[in-house]
């Protein structure tokens, strides 16, 4: 009798020796905070992505808030200004809009689970200042159309790329046309650390402001005040009422070690996805399940592999009984009280919210695991 399996949704995989080597350097010189490894990783991320700037934060959530706070302040937006966004996302995306004192306006999604460009156009008003675009599961959706919409209507484009580390569009790292890109390196992301993120402004001045605001508004962080010949300079100015959002060198050490594996890891994720698709092809043809559409121009990071089913709770129960633990990404944000004013305005997103299942997707899975998971799915959906 086969031993009961225990297949989790996510499981991070680390290059342990490389991680320890990078961390050891921090401990040996006695510097684990901002600077040293954070600067090194920022430079490596710019080299990898081709982005103009990269600021290492303690989370993607911090980066989201900083991006909106700075765009609002520097462009003279007020509390009546609107940001078009999606209801299918982790709540930090939309909380950042509220926290910045702006108005989230929800537009519906399409079969990519990303914002539907036609629905975005419908939601544009004189008060609209930006579009918050979420690359769901690593999918770029129809980002090319969103870019054109933002250009045509003079809107800022904020790319929530929490799932998109390594995603490419037309063979290039996605996001270069956005005004700001925010990546996540949280514990279960494709490039995992304990928790951290990257805030990448195209505007050099905004990058400088972000670094100050993330260090309580102080115009020189401790690393800069200590790096001139080893002499610590205590004088600085406080230019903003800021927060403490910067990353540290321990998390950056993990990121440096993992970055060299990102493309290979994503390639394996795409292989996992192809195995799922191969095993589930009959169910798709018969209409038992649906898959999420990924445009041909997109090479997805495949942070998620999601299916759409009629009876989600029954399927999840069956998977759980067989040692398989899927997830749901995400609950329609308009179901939460702070966004309930928009409830019912995005029917496609709401449908997906009630029928999506995220299947296990991590580097310790093998083909046998995928076949086992799909066997249970086929038996449950008749």
Strand stretches in 143-190, DSSP E: 156-161, 168-169, 172-173, 180-184
State the pairing for strand pair 103-106/168-169: unpaired
Q: Given this model, what pLDDT does residue 284 score?
A: 97
Domain segments of the chain as ranges:
16-259, 262-380
Relative orientation angle of helices 37-49 and 249-259, to the nearest 10 degrees: 30
Contact, 360 vs 369, CB < 8 A?
A: yes
pLDDT digits (tens, 9 = 90+) for 137-162: 999 999 999 999 999 999 999 999 99
Handedness of CA 99, 105, 111, 117 (dihedral sign): negative
Task: Using the predicted structure, report yes or no on whether residue 253 has a pLDDT greater than 90.
Answer: yes
pLDDT digits (tens, 9 = 90+) for 10-46: 999 999 999 999 999 999 999 999 999 999 999 999 9
CATH topology of domain 262-380: 3.90.1150
Peptide bond into 330 cis (omega under 30): yes
CA distance 65 to 94: 10
Q: What pTM did the predictor assign?
A: 0.95
CA distance 241 to 263: 39
Confidence of residue 267 (pLDDT cuts 50, 70, 90): very high
Q: Given this model, what pLDDT does residue 4 score?
A: 80
CA distance 208 to 206: 5
Q: Can you tell me whether residue 227 is helix, strand or coil?
A: coil
Distances (CA, A) of 109 to 130, 238, 293, 306, 378: 17, 42, 12, 15, 28
Q: Given this model, what pLDDT does residue 236 score?
A: 87
Q: Given this model, what pLDDT does residue 220 score?
A: 73
Is the domain 16-259 a CATH 3.40.50.10860 member? Answer: no
pLDDT digits (tens, 9 = 90+) for 323-370: 999 999 999 999 999 999 999 999 999 999 999 999 999 999 999 999
Task: Look over the chain and give the mean of its residue pLDDT values, rounded to a whole number.
Answer: 95
């Amino acid at each position: 009798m086969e031993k009961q399996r225990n297949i989790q949704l996510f499981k991070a995989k680390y290059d342990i020796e490389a991680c320890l080597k990078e961390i050891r350097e921090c401990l040996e010189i006695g510097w684990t905070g901002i600077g040293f490894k954070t600067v090194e990783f920022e430079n490596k991320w710019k080299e990898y992505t081709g982005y103009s700037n990269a600021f290492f934060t303690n989370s993607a959530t911090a980066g989201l808030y900083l991006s909106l706070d700075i765009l609002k302040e520097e462009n003279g937006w007020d509390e009546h200004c609107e940001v078009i966004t999606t209801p299918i996302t982790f709540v930090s995306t939309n909380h950042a809009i509220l926290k910045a004192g702006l108005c989230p306006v929800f537009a519906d999604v399409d079969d990519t689970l990303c914002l539907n460009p036609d629905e975005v156009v419908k939601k544009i008003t004189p008060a609209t200042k930006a579009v918050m675009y979420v690359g769901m599961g690593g999918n770029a959706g129809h980002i090319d159309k969103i870019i054109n919409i933002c250009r045509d209507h003079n809107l800022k484009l904020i790319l929530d790329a929490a799932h998109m580390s390594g995603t490419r569009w037309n063979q290039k790292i996605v996001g270069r046309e956005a005004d700001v890109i925010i990546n996540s390196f949280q514990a279960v992301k494709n490039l995992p650390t304990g928790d951290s993120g990257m805030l990448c402004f195209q505007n050099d001045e905004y990058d400088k402001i972000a670094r100050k605001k993330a260090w309580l508004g102080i115009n020189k962080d401790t690393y800069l005040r200590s790096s001139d010949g080893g002499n610590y300079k205590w004088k600085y100015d406080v230019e903003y009422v800021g927060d403490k959002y910067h990353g540290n060198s321990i998390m950056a050490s993990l990121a440096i070690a993992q970055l060299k594996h990102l493309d290979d890891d994503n390639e394996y994720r795409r292989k996992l996805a192809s195995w799922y698709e191969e095993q589930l092809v009959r169910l798709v043809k018969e209409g038992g399940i649906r898959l999420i559409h990924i445009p041909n121009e997109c090479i997805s990071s495949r942070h998620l592999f999601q299916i759409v089913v009629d009876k989600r709770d029954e399927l999840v129960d069956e998977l759980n009984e067989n040692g398989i633990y899927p997830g749901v990404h995400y609950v329609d944000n308009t179901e939460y009280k702070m966004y309930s004013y928009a409830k019912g305005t995005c029917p496609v997103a709401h449908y997906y919210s009630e029928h999506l299942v995220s299947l296990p997707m991590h580097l310790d899975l093998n083909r046998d695991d995928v076949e086992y998971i799909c066997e249970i799915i086929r038996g449950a959906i008749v």
